[in-house]
Copies of this chain bind each other. A is one copy, B any other.
Amino acid sequence: MIIDCHGHYTTAPPALGEYRDAQRRALEADAGHVGVKGEVRITDDEIRESVEGAQLRLQRERGTDLTIFSPRASWMGHDLGNEHTSRFWSEHCNDLIRRVCDLYPSNFVPVCQLPQSPGDSLANSVAELRRCVEQIGFLGCNLNPDPSGGWFTDPPLGDRHWYPIYEAMVELDVPAMVHVSQACNPHVYTTGSHYLGADTTAFQQLLMSTVLADFPTIRFVIPHGGGAIPYHWGRFRGIVQDLEMAPLEELVLGNIFFDTCVYHQAGIDLLLRVIPAENVLFASEMVGAVRGIDPTTGHAYDDTRRYVDAATISSEDRAKIYEANARRVFPRLQ
């Protein structure tokens, strides 16, 4: 069985975007707008249509089985509006993910976005995580380390600010994928430098903090192959050694995992050469950041199964990456 731990509902029916546009218009008129949660009217047929030709077709074509499915990351948009904006929006997005998973229970399992908002405590996020996990069977969450969208206005991940969500993650035994949303800072490009920079930054913040010591069973997935981390594994090993910390492997490998969203063979080979197989989870990010066909291979850039299949690793390691690790990191998958 092949489990894809990183898939987003990037193909949601238009009514979802229309809801968001209405929020945006109301906030333009009044930045403190609260409003009501309202409705997002989408039929089951519209959901079927939105995934049949996209995620479901790609699963079939690529021979993957189950996608750990979450709302579109670039649309989480935690920077927009206020805590009410984010709460209503996240609830709708998560409820929609639940419906997709109910329609295709053997193809999708749900992970939620959190109603984060710059400057706010994580109270609403803890509440939504509890609702999603305890009431509607979610397996984990996407945690945005920078809800401001590239301006870093909230504290780093090592700060006590984040501890309420870490406590809930541990109690519920669910992991977080650390994933930013659309960049508002014009210095960074959302699916390139922003995503990859945030992955690298989040890893370093956790590494330099006491989070992993304070929560020995907590689990984080760093997406996009871990940003720059595996490529610079020697640098990070050297940095912690110069600081007289424990070896890098001891510090992080019990809690931090990397996905395989790296879109060429050389990158996947590096990842699998450097990071132990126990810490790599198969993922494609599809339908995601890159949608084209690589002319040098004739296959989709994000058809990451081809790279993992072609890598020179043992079949035992491949089985861990395809299935066993995902079951260990997301135990509610059982």
Contact = CB atoms under 8 A, between A and B. Distances in A.
A214 interface: no
A290 B197 CA distance: 20
Copies in the complex: 2
A215 interface: no
A64 interface: no
B294 A228 contact: no
Interface residues of A, number: 54
A266 B262 contact: no
Given A228-B231, A241-B292, A267-B270, A236 B192 contact: yes
Contact of A232 (B224, B232, B233, B274): B224
B201 A234 contact: no
Nearest to A271: B231
Contact of A290 (B224, B239, B266, B274): B239
Interface stretch (A32-40, A46-54, A102-110, A180-188): A180-188
B239 A192 contact: yes
Given A239-B289, A267-B231, A301-B234, A193 B187 contact: no
Given A232-B262, A267-B270, 8 more contacts: A156-B187, A196-B232, A196-B235, A228-B231, A234-B264, A238-B294, A239-B290, A266-B270
23 contacts: A188-B204, A191-B239, A192-B239, A193-B205, A196-B235, A200-B200, A225-B231, A228-B228, A230-B231, A232-B262, A232-B267, A233-B264, A233-B267, A234-B263, A234-B266, A234-B267, A235-B264, A235-B301, A238-B294, A241-B292, A242-B292, A267-B270, A267-B274
